[in-house]
């Protein structure tokens, strides 16, 4: 019995070590790029962006579909407007580190338990009740940002018009 516990603990330690492993990048003489989870001579450690997570609605909230739809319509109707004040639609700007602060406005202000949610290229990137959400290290190029109001269960009750913006970032090449 003791041996099986030791084996189980060893397997858990091995699994956790690989789950938090580093990623290495190597460029050979011909310019071929190789990525690996094992160190390579002449390779460099690279930072991998964290995985985006979202809060899903609670199962009991989803099981009552008719009531849920009615609640969402009622809560959404309580807001006259929802907009992204910054960045503006079709705005282009320089952001050396790729950080962008999104400014969200609604009329009236948020109700208790509600939060603003910003999406970037269709993926949720942040929530806040203050109206200011900073997203770090956005890649250069043109992006689409959306804004929503979500309730305490993580359900979107109101959506605003999306905006398109372009980030210019310096590169090593220019």
pLDDT tens profile 135-174: 999 999 999 999 999 988 888 888 999 999 999 988 766 5
Q: Is 60 exceeded by the pLDDT of residue 38? A: yes
Whether the link from the prior residue into 44 is cis, omega within 30° of 0, is no
Q: pTM for this structure?
A: 0.59
Across residues 20-48, what is the average pLDDT?
A: 84
Across residues 28-35, what is the average pLDDT?
A: 86
Report how far residue 3's alpha carbon sits from residue 23's, in angstroms, rounded to the nearest whole number: 33
51-94 pLDDT, tens digit per residue, is 667 777 777 666 666 666 677 677 767 888 999 999 999 999 88
The position carrying tokens 């806040």 is 128
Kind and range of the H or E element at 6? helix 2-19
Which residues, including other chains, have CB under 8 Å from residue 45's CB and lie 6 or more apart?
22, 23, 24, 25
The answer to whether residues 120 and 52 touch, using CB atoms and an 8 Å cutoff, is: no
Domain boundaries of the chain, sorted by first residue = 2-46, 59-168
The answer to whether residues 127 and 146 touch, using CB atoms and an 8 Å cutoff, is: no
Sheet with 132-135, side-by-side order of all strands: 81-86, 100-107, 132-135
CA 147 to chain centre: 13
Judged by phi (left if over 0) then psi (alpha if -120 to 50, else beta), residue 121 lies in: left
Q: Write the class of the CATH domain 59-168.
A: mainly beta
Q: Which pLDDT belongs to residue 20?
A: 53
Report how far residue 70's alpha carbon sits from residue 80's, in angstroms, rounded to the nearest whole number: 18
Tokens of 146: 């959306």
Per DSSP bridges, beta strands 141-150 and 33-36 are unpaired
Residues in the chain: 174
Across residues 123-141, what is the average pLDDT?
A: 92
- What are residue 143's phi and psi, to 5 degrees? -130, 160
pLDDT band at 15 (very low <50, low <70, confident <90, very high): very low
């Amino acid at each position: 019995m003791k041996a099986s516990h030791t084996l189980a603990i060893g397997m858990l330690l091995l699994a956790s070590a690989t789950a938090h492993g580093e990623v290495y990048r190597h460029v050979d003489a011909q310019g071929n790029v190789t990525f690996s989870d094992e160190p390579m001579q002449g390779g460099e450690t690279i930072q991998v962006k964290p995985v985006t997570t979202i809060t899903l609605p609670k199962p009991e909230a989803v099981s009552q579909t008719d009531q849920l739809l009615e609640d969402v319509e009622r809560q959404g109707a309580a807001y006259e407007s929802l907009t992204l004040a910054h960045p503006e639609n079709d705005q282009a700007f320089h952001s050396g580190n790729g950080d962008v602060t999104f400014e969200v406005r609604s009329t009236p202000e948020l109700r208790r338990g509600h939060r603003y949610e910003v999406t970037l290229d269709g993926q949720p990137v942040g929530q806040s009740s203050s109206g200011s959400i900073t997203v770090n290290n956005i890649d250069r190029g043109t992006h689409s940002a959306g804004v929503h109001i979500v309730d305490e269960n993580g359900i979107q009750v109101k959506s605003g018009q999306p905006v398109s913006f372009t980030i210019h970032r310096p590169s090593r090449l220019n």
